Amino acid sequence: MNLTHLASALALVISATGFGAEYLVKLQSTDFKTEQEFIRNNGGVLDLVSREGRVYKWSTPQSNLNMKWAHSTQLNRSGVEKLEPNKRLKIFLSPSLEANRSQLARALKDLNDEEQVSPSGTPAYPDNPEIKKPSKQNTGSDPLLSKQWGMIGTDAAGAWKKTPAGKDIIVAVTDTGVDYNHQDLISNMWRNPGEIPGDNKDNDNNGYVDDVVGWDFAANDNKPYDLTLSLMDIVLQGGNPGHGTHVAGCIGATLNNALGIVGLAPNSKIMALRFITENGQGGTAEAISAIDYAANNGANIINASWGGESDGQTEEDTLLREAIERAGKKGVLFLAAAGNGRANAQGGASGFDIDNDEKPVYPAAYDLDNVFTVAAIDSENNLATFSNWGKKSVKLAAPGVKILSTVPGDKYQDTIINLGSIVVTWDGTSMATPHVAGAAATVWSMDPKATARTVADKLMDLSTDTAAVSDKVASGGRLDLHGLK
Ligand SMILES: [Ca+2]
Ligand SMILES: [Ca+2]
Ligand SMILES: [Ca+2]
C-alpha cells in the first residue's frame, strides 16, 4: 500500500467512526419542511434526538468540520437555532484504574502469555441476555452489609426503619447499562407498566419498542445490559465495565433477601438507561435522549456518574443543559458526580481540574435548581485524594473510596483488579453520587409530593459537618441520614 492509499484508508476510518463529523443542531421547528430545508442547504443526515428540545444529531460527510467553519457563512443557518459539536462524555473511571493503566497492561500481558486471563476481544458475559422476571427470593439478612462502610456511616439502616426506603421512587441510572438480571437487583428493576414484554410493539406509544426496564441509547436496543469485556480490554480500551451495575447497587440493591449487599434506597426502582459504551464514552446526543426518556417515563431522580470538560466556551454545552432543565421542569432531581480530577493533578493523565468553581466540569457545574453535585470522601472522612470539589457548585460529600457493590454476573466487588503489586479498588465520585441518589429516594418516599428542591435541601440540612470538606462543599459536610425524622 502506498502512502496515498494509506491516507484514503485512514480518512475512511475517521469518517466511519463519526468523530469530528457529528453535530447537535437545534432547529426552530421539528416539522418536515424545516428538516428538509436544512438537509437541502447543508447535506448530511439528521436524526431526531429530542422532539421537545428540537434537537437533532447532524452527521455530515465532511469530516474536517470545526466550529469555526460551522459559525462561518458556509453553513446555511436558515431554520437553525443552535449548533454545537456532539461532544464525547465519559464515565468517571476509578482513578486508580486510570493511574495504573500502563502498568496493568504490562502485567496483564505477562499473564496473558501464560494464558491466565481471557484474551482480548472476549466479553466476560454474552451481551443482551433476555430480561428475566423476578422470582420469589429467600428472606434473611444481607451477608455483605457489614462491609458496606458507606451504608453504616450514613445510618442507612436507621433511615430504612423511619421511611418507606424509596418505595414508589424511580431512579434512572444513566451509565454503561445495568445487569438487570443480577440476583440483588432483579426485584428492584423498574418495569415499564405500559409495555408488554416481547410482543415487538410499542404498547405505551412512547417511541420505544419493548422497553421493559429502560433503553440502550448507545446500541439503540431494548436491552440496556452492562456489557463487560475481558480484563485486558478494560485496561487497553479505557473503559470501566460494570460501572453502571456498581452504581445501581449503591442505589437500590435488595434488602433482606439473604444475598449480598443493600442499596441506600432498597425499595426504589432502577430504570436502566445505557448511553455510555463498554469503552467508557458516550455522545451528548445519546445523553440528551436518555435524560428525556427518564423525565418522560416517570423517573424522580437521575444519577449521572459521568461528565465532560468544558473548554470555557459554555455556549457549546447549552443543549445538554437544556435537557437537564427540561427534566427539572418535570420535577426530576439530577445527581451529578463532581469528577475525579485530583488524581490527575497529582501526576496522572490529563483530565479534570480540582476546583469545579474555577474550572467547571459538566454537567456537575451547571447552575440549575435541580442539579445536585457530589464529592467523594473515604471511610476516615477525608476528602478522597482524587475528588473534585467546589464551595459553590458541589453540595455534599459522600462515600466514594473502596465501595462494595454489585457487578455483572451475580457478583460483588470493592476491588476491580488485585494483582498483588497493583490493587485497583472501586473508587470515585461515580460511587459517591449514587449514595446520595439513594438517600434522596429514601427521603423522597416519606412524602412523594415533595419537590426535588425540598428533597435536596433536606439532604443539605441532614449532612454532618466534616472538617475535611468544610471549605470544599456548600453544605460543609457529608451525607448522613442519622437525624432524619
Ligand atoms: Ca414503549
Ligand atoms: Ca444492549
Ligand atoms: Ca441484598
Give the CA distances from residue 163 to residues 70, 148, 226, 269, 372, in Å, rounded to whole numbers and listed in that order. Answer: 53, 20, 31, 15, 22
Q: What is the 3-state secondary structure (H, E, C) of the chain?
A: CCHHHHHHHHHHHHHHHCCCCEEEEEECCCCHHHHHHHHHHHCCEEEEEECCCCEEEEECCCCCCCHHHHHCCCCCCCCEEEEEECCEEEECCCHHHHHCHHHHHHHHHHHHHCCCCCCCCCCCCCCCCCCCCCCCCCCECCCCHHHCHHHHHCCHHHHHHHCCCCCCCEEEEEECCCCCCCCCCHHHECCCCCCCCCCCCCCCCCCCCCCCCEEECCCCECCCCCCCCCHHHHHHHCCCCCHHHHHHHHHHCCCCECCCCCCCCCCCEEEEEECCCCCCEEEHHHHHHHHHHHHHCCCCEEEECEEEECCCCHHHHHHHHHHHHHHHHCCCEEEEECCCHHHHHCCCCCCCCCECCCCCEECCCCCCCCEEEEEEECCCCCECCCCCEECCCCCEEEECCCCCEEECCCEEECEEEECCCCEEECCCHHHHHHHHHHHHHHHHCCCCCCCHHHHHHHHHHHCEECHHHCCCECCCEECCCCCCC
Burial class (CB in 10 A: 0-12, 13-18, 19+), 45: exposed
How many whole angstroms from 265 Cα to the centroid of ligand 3?
A: 12
User: Which one is catalytic: 387, 405, 430, 445?
Assistant: 430
State the ligand closest to the CA atom of 193.
1
State the ligand closest to the CA atom of 183.
3
pLDDT for the residue 335:
98
* Alpha carbons 161 and 158: distance in angstroms, whole number: 5
How many whole angstroms from 215 Cα to the centroid of ligand 1?
A: 10
Prediction pTM value? 0.92
How many whole angstroms from 174 Cα to the centroid of ligand 2?
A: 13
Q: What is the mean pLDDT of each run of 10 residues along the chain (485 residues)?
A: 38 38 92 94 93 94 61 74 89 82 82 62 80 96 98 98 98 98 98 96 98 97 90 74 95 98 98 94 96 98 89 66 98 96 51 71 92 97 92 97 96 90 91 98 97 98 97 97 97
What does the angle CA 76 – CA 79 – CA 82 come to, to the nearest 5 degrees?
85
User: Which one is catalytic: 184, 210, 211, 243?
Assistant: 243
Q: Give, to the nearest 10 degrees, the angle between helix 318-329 and helix 284-296.
A: 10
User: Quick check: is 482 catalytic?
Assistant: no
pLDDT for the residue 284:
95
pLDDT for the residue 235:
74
How many whole angstroms from 252 Cα to the centroid of ligand 3?
A: 9
How many whole angstroms from 128 Cα to the centroid of ligand 2?
A: 5
Show the cell assigned to 389: 470539589
What residue ranges of the chain are covered by domains with CATH 3.40.50.200?
Answer: 90-478
Give the CA distances from residue 297 to residues 170, 245, 292, in Å, rounded to whole numbers and listed in that order. Answer: 10, 21, 8
pLDDT for the residue 310:
59
What residue ranges of the chain are covered by domains with CATH 3.30.70?
Answer: 3-86
How many whole angstroms from 51 Cα to the centroid of ligand 1?
A: 16
* Alpha carbons 76 and 332: distance in angstroms, whole number: 36
State the ligand closest to the CA atom of 256.
3
How many whole angstroms from 194 Cα to the centroid of ligand 1?
A: 7
pLDDT for the residue 22:
86
How many whole angstroms from 273 Cα to the centroid of ligand 1?
A: 14
State the ligand closest to the CA atom of 212.
1
Query: Strand 301-304 relative to strand 170-175: parallel, antiparallel, unpaired?
Result: parallel
Q: How many CB atoms lie within 10 A of CB 158?
A: 13
pLDDT for the residue 191:
98
How many whole angstroms from 253 Cα to the centroid of ligand 3?
A: 6
pLDDT for the residue 5:
40
Give the CA distances from residue 245 to residues 159, 215, 318, 426, in Å, rounded to whole numbers and listed in that order. Answer: 23, 15, 29, 12
State the ligand closest to the CA atom of 137.
3
User: Quick check: is 182 catalytic?
Assistant: no
How many whole angstroms from 166 Cα to the centroid of ligand 2?
A: 27
Q: Which CATH architecture has domain 3-86?
A: 2-Layer Sandwich (3.30)
How many whole angstroms from 256 Cα to the centroid of ligand 3?
A: 6
How many whole angstroms from 291 Cα to the centroid of ligand 1?
A: 16
State the ligand closest to the CA atom of 405.
3
How many whole angstroms from 189 Cα to the centroid of ligand 1?
A: 16
pLDDT for the residue 233:
72
Report the sign of the C-alpha dihedral through residues 456, 462, 463, 465, in that order. Answer: positive
pLDDT for the residue 120:
59
User: Quick check: is 430 catalytic?
Assistant: yes
> Which residues, including other chains, have CB under 8 Å from residue 79's CB and lie 6 or more apart?
27, 28, 29, 34, 37, 38
State the ligand closest to the CA atom of 182.
3
User: Which one is catalytic: 50, 94, 142, 175?
Assistant: 175
Identify the CATH class of 90-478.
Answer: alpha beta
